[in-house]
Chains A and B, each alone.
Chain A
Amino acid sequence: MKRGDVHSCPSCNTLHTVTLIESSLIVCKSCGTYIHEATGDENTPEQSKMPDDWTFLKIGSTCELPQQTFHLVGRCRLQLRNDYKNFWCAEYGRGKCLWIAESFGSFSIFLSAWEKFAGDPAQLRAGASVKMSNELKLIGEYVEKCEGISFAGEIGAWNFFTPGFFVVQASATTKTSFFFLEPKKNVSFLSGEKILAERLNFKNTIEWNEWK
Chain B
Amino acid sequence: MNPNIITLVESLQKVGEPHFEVNKNKFEADLIRANAAPTSWIIRIVTMLGAWISAACFFGVISLMGIFDSPMAITILGIVLTAVAIFAFQTVNQKVFTIPYALTASITGQICIGYGLTGWLNLSDMDLLLWVGIGIQVLMFILSKNHVQRFITVLVVNLLGVGLLFSNKLYEGIHWITGLNALIFTALILGEEIVLSRYKKLIAAFDSLNAGTAFSFLLLTFIRLGELTFSFREISIRFWWISAAFILMCLIGVIYKISLDFEWNPVKTIPLCLIFVPFLWGYSGILGGVLMLAVGYYHKNLWFIVMGVLALGVFISVFYYNLQLTLWTKSLILIGSGILFLVGWKLLGYFIRKHYPNTNTAPF
Q: State whether these chains interact.
A: no
